[in-house]
Structure 1
């Protein structure tokens, strides 16, 4: 019996296939017909149906509202799925589940059609968008197919003109026996040359226990680098790896890790990849350049043909819509950074110097310097400027109070922290906010 998880996975895979193959709902190959016919079929009672003779669409697997679902329909859905998912549906139980899902999807389509969802404005807008995208897609694909193929001569010319792009480094696979001293390394060489096998000596004498059990295998080195896997920078080992013949043993070699005796195999010299091996890569590169040129030329042509005109000022205005002084003040109040908040207050004052929000902003600059940044000289300068420019404001007593008392830890009555929310009018100490004015 299938567990809950397995059944859930089957359902998800089936749903994926149904959604991927949207043609199931709108164009089942064995269910062709007009919308009016579908509506009539859906309104009729369930019918008893028996398969007829052989069909080019394959065997009939199910019937929904008088409509056949055939093997061709299932194949059209499976064709949209990745190979791994297609393979899973070779299992009879999961194939049956897929057929059931396709039948359910068709039933949902008939029900949606019967309820008149086709007349829903939102549906029609989305359908129109999808149609535009499909038209663009097929137009573009058709235009791309009409482009000339990349000739072999162009690929050969590219290969000859860009030799550096196809150069490959030499590489060799290295094994080592690591010894702590030169004397021990020489003993290793002596034993190897006297007939002991590499594996025996490596297991017994190498003090690199991590590789001793694998024949001292380190990995590959290349001619364009002095790095040796698990060793680090070791130019002597790299150089020897490309001088040794396969099966030969090196003399002791020094690295920062100690002394090494190495062997190398699977050597390949540096050189240039053959043309036949890089043809697919060259073709893809040239096709990309061709396609980019085609698209650029096409867009320039369409721009002229249809009179495309952009309005940069309008684009900028759309990104930064005009805001009222009160909105700018609220934006500044909401900013979590005191310095950014001060900058936003200054912008508000510069843009709307005569608005009451600018008066409040001028006061809040001093308040922010004093209460949050503890920059009392800057706060004093801001409050003194406020008093000079707004001598009739109801906030004058608060500004004077701040000059005399800032740093004491007690804000003036009625004045809240900028982070406390929107602040339209800051009342004087002990004043009535309803009767206050800037």
Structure 2
């Protein structure tokens, strides 16, 4: 409160002094007002929130004062920031910053003034100029990425997007994207997504989100992963050499792993009670066709008009299509003979009568039949060996030390202490 009273008195006294100076001259021209008094008045007006009047006085001060260039630059910067932050007058703020940039290009405040021009352009809805200014400040070339040779399909300001860039972008994202964005209509859809992403990224840079510590950390981590993957491919994956003899040796040593399990293709009739299942079983035993019984009695709307077809039950998987996981039920179905009909069997869905439509016995796969899987396993084994060798070599070369004792000391143990006998 005391500061407000003092500032108000200062303004009143300054106005009074200026009035006396005007009156004392009589018919003569008024005496020049000392520049320092004008500066003090401007500062007092500013402190009272009279920013528009303060800017006018700071301008008058610049017109009459003989001050060093750096001080003039600082006042221009203050005028610009007042227009921008206090008055939200983007045009006058921009004018002040441009004046500062042109008249005092080497001033320490000029760089920040040029950054604030971006906010002025944004406030004036001149996004293109804002992006252009950002590129000037960051030396960011929009076409730093190699431009494709194909036709230009879009343009963002002076930045061009070619058909080749779309194809390259899709290729980097993998086969799924290439297949799903193959048609002209889908490529147009993807192009709009690319443009939207670019515009959002441009807006983020203008807001200087790229200077945010957390975002920069994430970018560094992402860059680190890409670089690490590049070296890993060169030092590990590209050095994997698998010969036919390697596949044959592995196959012979692990032949029991390459067995095709027995499968039974089944159909079913589902009812709501054991009694109902017994009635249907009796009808089947008396000669009723399974397809006919399924259509007449089954509660499974998905299969009743298709002969009750469920699908294959495979040994070792314990999964029955349309029913779910059930080791006991799977074992009983795998034991059925071809065309045999089971006794009523219970599941969470109700009671079932199953029929074995087709049986494929267990089969030992030949090397040729198992080759894709054998090759994948051999490559995986060799990759792990090369990875271990590379890690050990790099850790030794870089003098890496892992302080596992610190980890054990600082992190709580996950093992629970055994209970004393007296607690039982």
Q: TM-score, normalised by structure 2?
A: 0.45
